[in-house]
Structure 1
Amino acid sequence: MQRINVLDEICEKEIALYGNKAKNLWLMKKNGINIPATLAVKCPAAWKMDVTKEEVCQEIENAVKKHFSISEELIVRSSFQKEDSQETSMAGVFESVRVKSYEQVMSASCQVLDSAGNDWRNMGIIVQPYIDCDFSGIMFSASPYDSGKDIVIEFADTSCSHLVKGDITPDLYVDNRGWIRENPGYVSESVIRDLTDAERRLRELLNANVDVEFCVSEGTIIFLQCRPMTTGKIKIPLDSVKNIEGIWILQEELSLPFTPLIRTLDPSGLLTERPHIIIENYVYFSSEFRLKSIDDEQWKDWDSISQHYMGIFQDLLDRKEKADIEMLESSVQIYRGAVESYMNVNWFIYRKTCYQELIDALKEKFENYQDVFFSVMHSIDTINTNKRKDFIKLLQNKGTSDFDEKKALFLKKYGAETSHPFYIMCKSLADYLDQIIDIIGEREINEEAGEPLYNSRDFDENICALIERYRKVVQRTEDDDYLLCLGSYVIRNLLQKIESKLNLQKDSIWFYEFHELKDLAEGKKVSSEVAELRRKSFESCKNYDMPLVIENGVGVYAGSESKSTLEGVTVSQGYTSGKVYVLKNPGDIFEIVNIPSGSIVYSNWISPVLSAYFFNIKGLIIPESSILSHGAILAREMHIPAVGGINYRFEDGMEIQLNATEGKVCISDKA
């Protein structure tokens, strides 16, 4: 299998191994967009396990000598796995290096790999001729500066690199408005027309607003790269909410869009039970809804409930008969029973009572009762702390003779985990463990250390009992999510088998409504075109900036007002400072494992089962203020400072000071 190829010769199933920049260029080339001749290098994670940086760079030099003339000036560019993606552009993070001779290629390639730090194995590389252009530019589908919706094009009568770096003031053209200052004279109307036509094609190809770099040489437009725009999401039209009465809430833990199938099948039963409205595939719940109280005392015996449903779900997985609609409906009813047991309001009241009684008891004995509380809450033996330890051990065994055996045991124990059980379509750990291991590669992982400042000798019998009771509450809070994951895994497997049985296109089943799926199973005709339109709508809505609350037709969004200090609540004590990383998709494990080391992470919600893969982060900021939120538990398990109750439009790279002990976030750089 070749590791370095001319872009034209790479097949569709392989292109993802070359990184996102190469993938986007490949897509452009296949659809007739004019790009430079491109040599693409697979991410070293897809090479042999023990490949060295020097071996990779030497092979790149050899390939360049074969494909490019000695007289050509070239540019060696990054193509990182998460670069130029829907979630993050990573613009300016990695190196691009011009070379004027074969002898400089190896050094330039090493420089690009080095710019990824410990993640160099996930860095693809592309090599292209350096184009001596007449002029260049950057084009945006919509204004990156304000809420304008017209195409914006920045031109410069020099190379594109000066525009990207901000070295010069561009000549600005806005579609439907014309030149913002005056026509600079070097850009013809035909070039503008061709660019705006290309923008519409590129936007359709990537199914998103686009950010495009181009140059013009001898009258020909050459597109250098294209990526989805990540400078702010699109606010939904006001018409979508203006006639809605009452108060409707986009819950933090259910803030992702639902596919048509999951919305209408409703495996969790949450939509059947709760008053809700659907806006652009997002579900808003009525503020008047209250969880049900189940009168019996069974909810207290979670071990028995868990063992009961674990046995049923495992039996469903082990069944060999063919999947059908009847088996699906039966499995959904069982899953709803597990969810109902978990969502009992008595359990949530009990959690709060345990916390309050422990805090009250500590207040009476200790002046610094909060310090004592956070100390005794460290290192609780939950399924996620155990998984984290087991995963680190697995990584340490990579390359040993019994690695495959240990990996199989790890998957048997944790393979059903998914980023969010109620969405069903989210992949499980069994689907991507090998990729995660490759992505993490040889990265050094800082294992959290820290001993509690207090132990049982410091407390009386009553406080010891309250501490033990509360630690069990925390343990159950984390462990019960894995039961829901297993039920979700059962239903997802059934749907995949039904999809195959009905000869549907892969992953298209999610975009049929449940009644349509039943019609298909009965041999009736159902439009696949409608399902495809729903898929496109679903992909587009991921880029929407949805209001957190809709109150009588008015959307309320996350705070963006200029503030230097934000006040929240302490969920894990400590102090740190550094750069913010905004987690765009908390359910995407690939984004999580690629968070830059040393970041302070801001996330709308934290998936408990994915918390085991947060490595080397310095701090955490979350909107939820509960001491028992999954984010709060994660922070205490990792011994990192965390503040809850903060809802703010942070931007990647913001410099902040996180004083979690006082529940404060100080913003020192809003640029």
Structure 2
Amino acid sequence: MSTYYFDQITKKDNFLGGKGFTLGLMKNAGFPVPDGLILTEMPVSDKEWDEIYSWWKKQSSPKLAIRSSAIGEDSSEQSFAGQNSSYLNIDNETGIKTSIKNCFQSMYKKSSALYREHFLKERSDLVKMNVVLQVMVNPKLSGVFFSVDPRTNEAGWIIEAIEGLGEDLVSGKKTPWHFEEKKVATTKLFNIEELVNTGIAIRNFFGHEIDIEWAIDQDNKLKILQARPITALSGKSEEKRIIEEELKRLKSTYPTNTLWDGGTFAEWNGPPSELTFSIWKEAFSKQHAFSKALKKLGYLGIDEELPNESHSLLERIFNRGYVNISMLAPLYFGPIPYRLELKSTPKLKFDFKKMTLKMFILTPFTMLRMLKVGLRLSTQRQQWLLECAKELTVFSDKSFRVKELDHYQKISDLELHELFQREVTLFYEDHLTWPLVLITLIESTSQSLRSLLKGVLPHDEIDKCLNQWLSIGIHTVTMEMNEDYKKASNDPAKRIHFMQKYGHRGPGELELSHPRWMELSDNAFFKSSADERAMNNSSLKSVESEINELKTYKKQVIEKEWKLLRDMLELREKWKMSLLSPYSHIRYIALEISKRNKIGNEIFWHSFQEILNNDFNLSRAKKRRDTTELSKSVYLPTILELSKLENILTSKDESNIKSFNGMALSPGLVFGEVRVVNSPDNIDVDNWPKNTILVAESTDPGWTGLFLKSKAVIVEKGGVLSHCAIVAREMNLPAVSGIKQCHLRFKDGDKIWVDGNNGRITLA
């Protein structure tokens, strides 16, 4: 064991970890830092422990703060916030010994290991743990000092302060006093000028912008408890630049009344990778899956190149996938003198300015086609549904991939590329066709059912009624998968069968950069406990009996529409189950190509065309990945109107709002503690509380393990017919969507009420 005392630390001791090293440098430079020491290894002998106790007693046996200090922690790149352990107010030898041991062992906690693997990649094994012992301050006041605004990177210091320990400020338990250089900042609480001068001096000492934790002790003396670089400052300025450039591009490329719809891709948790987007984009281009789906329903389809730079209806808006619905109308019926207007939903409105002689001549034919399609949608949906089910049987027989993951290691480069091209082409040309037909039919049937209920129920009761029916009336293959997952989690003997049946699925499964359950093996499973909620297998009351109680002569028609919608939703889940098998093999082949070209996960930041052309450029890939990462904090609604986009991006901060209204997805009322999941790949649920509220931008059925560990779900994206809604209802989890930036607004540890009956979230 090596022991380094704060007053002995110099710049050559940077191997001591960010926290301890920084404290030592500040102590030696004369800043008011409480005394302390750093241990580089776990003490093993009585002599080594006695050395620590002796130092403590020389300090008059004060209460100690004992914290981890890993190399790389509190750096300008990663904060390691909350990943390793801290213990406060330790005041006896037994407590000191236990806390030191726990700090060293915290490096091996699952959450800490996953954090290092995610951020440090191949350098994760090189991280070394040190432990800091520091004299505690008994504070009147505690707080933080930022030398610049960490939200915007704009000049001007910021101070926040609370009474008592600073832990309550970090955890959000107390609302702080807030002071800014930009505003006249005066207070009788403490000497604000002394704090600012000390903070600026520390910034100048280190030569970079800093974030300081400080305290005022019972004698009104300022103490500096920690200092670190403000993380991701460059990211903030880059984020601002990306927003400005993207706004400029959109304004110069599209008419101001352009509308986009992102609902089709609500399951993408954040912006998609380049490979994922390039394949789906192709599906919405000329003569491919979406065009074929339109034609099957009697529409015109896409036979010519679309008038945009991507030649596809699917476009990138701030790196997210949006369908340009402004270009859709002619693809349905041909040239028509209408424009799209956005009210609560997009609607066609007659536009005399669009009328041309050619359009005038073609209008009768267009109207006839509209009538024919409308008639077919009202009379042939059952026939299409049967055909879609037959096609699924054929598809499942010929498309389910049984190859082992190591199959691709045994074939030549040429065969590998041919297989990759075949799988990608089949997916965007054919595999998606019938699922897209089904999505259109579901939307049409849902609207029809809502229209029928308008004359029967009050407007604000329709969604609640439909949610209730969906909750008790649907039984999907996803529900069966969830049941099997739960059994496999608790019984390892059942995992082989689970993987054979569902191994091609996994969390974030529409994104090709995310691993499948087959790859995760035993790590795919989270052991469930006896008190977790049972699946929604039965109900005392059927949907049919509820419909029979409605006071209307339209009961038979309503029941028919309901049964159609139910059958379509259940069939959609079956299609997804089969579709994701060949889709997963696009990932497996890409990984083998990546392995042979030694480019790692950067393969997913190349388009499929670039991969086929062996056009590998790691610099370009990294730039795409970094830009996409910065775009994650940009909020965009499901239906996006270019003319209102700038207002959306510059809308005022709503962080002080205490309650939120969204869309009720699944009924129930739950109080719990938030856990935010931004990426489903590296999640440690071992330490989740029993009343966890899962918060994410979006989810999919592959999040089963996280759903099982949660008591409710909050998402930004997803409607009442979404996969998230179906899974939540089947698992008896209250769920709410439409909460703007919930994955950025809430933080781990927030206590909230989730009202899945009325779509309301309330901060406790």
* TM-score band w.r.t. shorter chain: 0.5 to 0.7
In the alignment, structure 1 residue 341 sits paired with structure 2 residue 433? yes
After superposition, residues 461-540 of structure 1 pair within 5 angstroms as: 469-504=564-599, 506-514=600-608, 516-520=610-614, 527-540=617-630
1:99-498 counterparts in 2 under 5 A?
99-105=90-96, 108=99, 127-131=131-135, 138=144, 140=146, 143=149, 147=152, 149-150=154-155, 152=157, 154=159, 182-184=193-195, 187=198, 191-197=202-208, 237-242=243-248, 244=251, 245=254, 246-251=258-263, 252-254=266-268, 256-264=270-278, 269-270=283-284, 274-278=312-316, 281-290=319-328, 297=384, 300-302=387-389, 304-305=391-392, 307-308=394-395, 311-314=398-401, 320-323=410-413, 324-345=416-437, 347-350=439-442, 352-353=444-445, 356-357=448-449, 360=452, 374=468, 377-378=471-472, 380-397=474-491, 403=492, 405-437=493-525, 440=527, 445-448=532-535, 451-455=538-542, 458=545, 469-498=564-593
- Deviation per CA, 1:473-528: give whole Å up to 9, x if none: 23223333233332331111111111122233x2122334555544547xxxx654
Matched residue, 2:29: none
Q: Please give the alpha-carbon distance, in whole angstroms, between the structure 2 residues aligned to 1:567 and 1:223.
A: 39
User: Structure 1 386/343 Cα, relative in aligned 2: closer, same or farther at 3 Å?
Assistant: closer
1:614 aligns with 2:707: yes
Q: SS of 1:285's equivalent? A: strand
Letter in 2 for 1:70: Y
Q: Provide the rounded CA distance (Å) in 2 between the counterparts of 1:414 and 1:448.
A: 18
Cα deviation, residue 420, structure 1:
3.8
Query: Is the alpha carbon distance of 1:64 and 1:179 closer, same or farther for their aligned partners in structure 2, counting shifts above 3 Å?
Result: farther
TM-aligned CA deviation for residue 417 of structure 1: 1.0
CA 1:72 to 1:360, structure 2 compared with 1: closer, same or farther past 3 Å?
farther
Alpha carbons of 1:565 and 1:498: their partners in 2 closer, same or farther (altered >3 Å)?
closer
Distance 1:547 1:476, change over 3 A: closer
What CA deviation, in whole Å up to 9, does each residue of 1:120-179 have, x standing for no partner? 9758897422257999984658635x64534746599x997697589998997879x999
- The question of whether the paired residues in 1 share the 8 Å contact of 2:476 and 2:574 is answered with yes
Does the Cα contact within 8 Å between 2:20 and 2:132 map onto a contact in 1? no
Cα distance between partner residues in 2 of 1:378 and 1:106? 55
Cα 1:389–1:106 change in 2 (3 A) is farther
Question: How far does the alpha carbon of each residue in 1:574-614 deviate from its partner, in whole angstroms, 9 at most, with x for none?
Answer: 3x253573745264462788764324444432212224531
Kindly provide the CA deviation profile for residues 186-234 of structure 1, in whole angstroms up to 9, marking residues without a partner as x.
72865222345275xxxxxxxxxxx67589xxxx99967779579x986
Larger Rg: 2
- Which of 632, 642, 649 is equivalent to 1:551? 642
Structure 1 residues 152, 179: closer, same or farther in 2, change over 3 A? farther
Gaps of 5+ in 1: 9-23, 42-59, 200-210, 398-402
Of 50, 54, 70, the match for 2:53: 70
Tell me, yes or no, if the aligned pair for 2:666 and 2:736 is still in contact at 8 Å.
yes
The TM-score with structure 1 as length reference comes to 0.68
Cα pair distance change 1:507/1:185, threshold 3 Å? closer
Q: Which has the higher helix share?
A: 2
Deviation at 1:414, TM superposition (A): 1.5
Who is 2:366 aligned against? none
601-610 vs 371-380, which deviates more? 371-380
State the distance in 1 between where 2:698 and 2:753 align: 21
Query: Could you tell me which amino acid in structure 2 is paired with residue 374 of structure 1?
Result: Q
User: How many pairs align?
Assistant: 594
What do you get for the CA RMSD once the two structures are aligned?
Answer: 5.8
Q: Within 1, Cα distance between the matches of 2:23 and 2:426? A: 51
CA distance in 1, matches of 2:524, 2:724: 21
Normalised by the length of structure 2, the TM-score is 0.61
Q: CA deviation at 1:540?
A: 3.7
Residue correspondence of structure 1 range 569-608 to structure 2 within 5 A: 569-574=663-668, 576-579=669-672, 581=674, 583-585=676-678, 587-588=680-681, 590=683, 596-608=689-701
CA 1:590–1:185: 2 relative to 1, 3 Å: closer
Contact 2:470 2:726 in 1 (8 A): no
Q: Residue type matched to 2:52 in 1?
A: S
Kept after mapping to 2: 8 A contact 1:34/1:221? no
What is the identity, as a one-letter code, of the residue corresponding to 2:427? Y
Closer/same/farther in 2, CA of residues 259 and 664 from structure 1, 3 Å limit: closer
What letter corresponds to residue 388 of structure 1 in structure 2? N
What CA distance in whole angstroms lies between the structure 2 residues aligned with 1:33 and 1:520? 50
SS of structure 1 residue aligned to 2:198: coil
Distance 2:392 2:154 in 1: 53
- Determine what percentage of the aligned residue pairs are the same residue: 17
1:369-403 deviations in Å (ceiling 9; x for gaps): 96697267437442322222222222322xxxxx3
* CA shift for structure 1 position 289: 4.5
The residue type paired with residue 551 of structure 1 is: L
User: Shift in Å at residue 571 of structure 1?
Assistant: 3.2
Structure 2 CA distance for aligned equivalents of residues 409 and 6 of structure 1: 51
3-state SS of the aligned residue for 2:54? coil
Q: Using the alignment, how far apart are the partners of 1:64 and 1:614 within structure 2?
A: 50
Q: CA deviation at 1:469?
A: 4.5
Q: Where do residues 52-91 of structure 1 align in structure 2 (5 Å cutoff)? A: 69-73=52-56, 75-77=65-67
